[in-house]
Structure 1
Amino acid sequence: MSIVKSHSLLRGFICVAALLTSSLTMAESTTVRFATFNASFDRQQSGQLASEMRVADNPQIQRVAEIIQRVRPDVMLITEFDNDGHAQNPQAMRDFIGNYLAKSQNGAEPIDYPHFYLVPTNTGKLAKVDRNGDGQLSRPQDTYGFGMFHGQFAFAVVSKYPLDLAKARSFQSFLWKDMPNASLPDATPGSGKKDYFSQAVLEDFRLSSKNHLDLPVKLPGKTVHLLAMHPTPPVFDGPEDRNGRRNHDEIRLFADYIAADSQTGAYLVDDRGNRGGLGKGKSFVLMGDFNADPFDGDSFQASVNQLLEHPQVHQKVARGNLIPVSEGAKQMQPKGQFFGEPSHWTHVYPLRLDYVLPSADLNVVDSGVFWPKPGDKYRYLVEDEHGNQAKAVSSDHRLVWVDVTISSD
């Protein structure tokens, strides 16, 4: 064989190898763990959480950090993480990452989140109009969302992947009355007049009790929209069910936002003045403490079913064999009658309140709820020696996660 032919064959082998390598590269995929965790980082006074984050010795924060280290989410929504209301001072989050997550807790591997975003909130922000009719504006009765100070019960996003803040959308200022056929409460329940609030109050009444956020996450080869919210609990009201109805419509906002047809969410106007919903062909993951269970609790018209039954939502995660479950929840022995599946519970009440709901087009491969059963080596992270399973230990909620495989385009 001539040297020329040998070189030609070698070039051929190299070309074939290059094509195979290219093919393998194109077929590469990344598994991303999305999680939501109501960490119970709400405090009674403004600045208290920031002070606790500065020193790395708070037992509750340490256990929350260890839970995160054990589960190792890639993209996570943390609800009930106090901020300054306007989310302009990130030091508390920097300290949580640096003083707690970046340090091993009980031998767990440290974890880092180079990208994070604190979200402005309506909680504790005084409204412009007296809501309860006592002639003065005061917290927490006259705030856009319940809070003893502006920033209590806020939420934040942490991520291993870049966040496209320039394209983020929020609906903090959207008025409840501007939602078509809103479930506004009646002064006389059942009248259908929707007159519980005066017109002056409705002209200032924001729908979102905290905020509704669409934050694009730049994953390898694909952008996924993180849709985050924390609707008001459907309790602490009267027969008019004003909080239950508000919870329903807070959930409806995102149900309309992800609708396949452009008309359903056309009424929505974000805080930058942009109109409309998410749009066709965009992948998303809905996340948060929705304060609504599909079977039990006090939600208005089973409000969360607006998402669990939504055709754009991944049905195996919403209602099928990929619903996040735990063994620990099965051991709960609640008083009274509950109709939901115990393994689905995410709160000690017990209810399924916390959700990670990917869009139907995403490839979900696994899911779970961090709730170790009695006897598990990590049980101490959710229950102490006295049987406490709530905020005195870590949180009254459990971290929920879903694994999504993203193929490179």
Structure 2
Amino acid sequence: MIAALFLAGPAAAETLRVATWDAGLSRSGPGLLLQDIEKGDPQVVAVREVIDTVSPDILLLTGIDWDYDGQALDALNRSLATPYPYFYASRPNSGMQSGADLDGNGVLGEARDAQGYGRFPGQGGMALLSRRPIRADAARDFSDLLWRDLPGSAIGKTGMSDEAQAVQRLSSSAHWDVPVEIGTGAPLHLLAFAATPPVFDGPEDRNGWRNHDEAAFWLRYLDGDLPETPPARTYILLGDANLDPADAEGRRAALQSLLSGGFLQDPAPRSKGAELAADADHKGDPGLDTADFDGPGNLRVDYVLPSSDLKIAAAGVVWPAPDAPLAKAAARASRQKLVWVDIVLP
């Protein structure tokens, strides 16, 4: 069934497959990802197998280490069965030192003092790969927006010092609006992000509020509450929100507004593997889960949400049943699963 679903068919020329995936391509030190790609590390091989099989036309990778020369991304791309001709990967906030004591523990220069958590510059960044031309010259990178400058920002509720608030950026990794040519006149705008987990903090709930506001950014952008004019139509919001609509910790108001607010449509991609691995105590639909976490269990945290003017042909999550094709590769590659949506070209 999976092979039949992913093989190109008669409708391939009329649809565009857009996907997002935290493929577990982050390592504990700079340069280690490149080493693993070059030596054929089994986890990287599994990642490659999933990408080659699903073959998205556009793929947002989150949780991938960034380096100044793009060597790791280039090596990964060249190792694919059909390398992508276009990519976009600006420097993320993760691992970028702020110069301030952001966590207030009296020590500077720690991973938690970076603009986004990271033990080295670029740890766990983002990369966009595409078979359609990326208009990099027209891309908008909002990653330098200060958290306090987001309309309705919750930073004042976190107990952060004035010094920290003066430098703390909103994006833990990045927020991008990247236009891609799809041959229909107006470009497709990809609204890409990866949010911080709403955990690993204290009663001040700094990460919980930041996670909320990283999703709320897109509400402000699409509402026209920011100085930059948003795309009027033909866009897709995608990435790792690190938040489930119903289960585990987190402040869900912004995410739920994105899922039901009218700007976007939720294709509700499903998988058989997630259904079979359901957590009995969870409230949400287990078939929609995209991640298998220790502790909180299976959650839906990864999203591909097309604008309301786009027609959806199909959608899914690469979480096969245990005995199905790709099951071993998907399990070995990452705790999170690739989410894809096929849209009919306008």
2:56 aligns to what? Answer: 73
Distance of 2:253 and 2:220 partners within structure 1: 16
Instruction: Indicate the residue corresponding to 1:23 in structure 2.
Output: none
Structure 1 position 323, deviation (Å) = 1.0
Tell me the residue number matched to 1:10: none
Who is 2:46 aligned against? 63
What is the total number of aligned residue pairs between the two structures?
Answer: 330
Partners of 1:38 and 1:402 lie apart in 2 by: 16
Contact 2:104-2:160 at 8 Å conserved across structures: no
CA 1:96/1:301 → structure 2, altered by over 3 Å: closer, same or farther?
closer
**What is the aligned partner in structure 1 of residue 335 from structure 2?**
396
Q: Which residue of 2 aligns with 1:292?
A: 243
Q: TM-score, normalised by structure 2?
A: 0.91
Cα distance in 1 between the residues matched to 2:273 and 2:341: 18
Do 1:294 and 1:303's aligned partners in 2 also have CA atoms closer than 8 Å? no
Change beyond 3 A, Cα 1:47–1:40: same
Query: Which runs of 5 or more residues in structure 2 are unaligned?
Result: 1-11
Following superposition of structure 1 onto structure 2, how do residues 347-358 of structure 1 map, counting pairs within 5 Å?
347-348=291-292, 349-358=297-306
Q: 1:277 to 1:232 in 2, by over 3 A?
A: farther
1:135 positional shift: 3.9
Query: Per residue, is there more helix in 1 or in 2?
Result: 2
How many angstroms does 1:302 deviate by? 4.2
Partner secondary structure for residue 298 of structure 2: coil
Residue pair 2:278, 2:298 contacting (<8 A) in 1 also: no
- Secondary structure (helix, strand or coil) at the match of 2:63 reads strand
1:117 equivalent to 2:65? Answer no
In 2, Cα distance between equivalents of 1:244 and 1:159? 32
TM-score, normalised to structure 1, is 0.78
What amino acid is the match of 2:289? W
Letter in structure 2 aligned against 1:278: P
Distance 1:374 1:279, change over 3 A: closer
Contact preservation (8 Å) 1:292, 1:302: no
Question: 1:4 is matched with which residue?
Answer: none
Number of the residue aligned with 1:13: none
User: Matched residue of 2:87: which SS?
Assistant: strand
1:94 aligns to 2:74 (yes or no): yes
Percent of counterpart pairs with the same letter? 36
Distance apart, 1:405 and its partner CA: 0.9
2:3 is aligned to none
Task: Give distance in 1, aligned partners of 2:169 and 2:16.
Answer: 34
Match of 2:198 among 226, 231, 234: 234
Measured on the aligned residues, the alpha-carbon RMSD in Å equals 1.7
Do structure 1's residue 220 and structure 2's residue 164 form an aligned pair? no
For residues 301 and 316 of structure 2, what CA distance do their matches in structure 1 show?
Answer: 14
Once residues 350 and 149 of structure 1 are traced to their aligned partners in structure 2, the CA distance between those partners, rounded to angstroms, is 29
> Residues of 1 paired with 2:32 and 2:204: CA distance?
35
- Counterpart in 2 of 1:208? 171
Which whole-Å CA distance do the structure 1 matches of 2:34 and 2:13 have between them?
Answer: 38
Q: After superposition, give the CA deviation of every residue in 1:285-343 in whole Å (9 maximum; x if it has no partner).
A: 111011011101111144411210121102xxx2xxx3100001011143x61001011
Matched, 1:326 2:271: yes
CA distance in structure 2 between the partners assigned to 1:215 and 1:115 by the alignment? 12
- Cα deviation code 1:53-78 (max 9, x no counterpart): 223x2110111111111111000100
CA deviations 1:344-400 (Å, max 9, x no partner) are 0000130000000000001111100011102213321134xxxxxxxxx11000000
The answer to whether 1:174 aligns with 2:145 is yes
Find the partner of 1:381 among 323, 329, 344: 329
Q: Distance in 2 between matches of 1:379 and 1:134?
A: 43
Larger Rg: 1
Alignment partner for residue 162 of structure 2, among 183, 192, 199? 199
Alpha-carbon spacing, 1:296–1:303, altered in 2? closer, same or farther (3 Å) = farther
Deviation at 1:134, TM superposition (A): 4.2
1:226-259 C-alpha deviation (Å, 9 max, x unpaired): 1100010000011111101000000000122122
The amino acid that maps onto 1:294 is P
How do 1:273-312 and structure 2 match up within 5 A? Answer: 275-280=227-232, 282-312=233-263
Question: Does the aligned pair in 2 maintain the 1:140–1:148 contact within 8 Å?
Answer: yes
**Which residue matches 1:5?**
none
Q: How far 1:30 sits from its partner (Å)?
A: 2.6
The one-letter code matched in structure 2 to 1:307 is L
Give the equivalent residue in structure 2 for 1:50. 34
**Conserved? CA contact 1:30–1:220, under 8 Å:** no
SS of 2:344's equivalent in the other structure is strand
Q: Give the structure 2 partner of residue 343 of structure 1.
A: 287
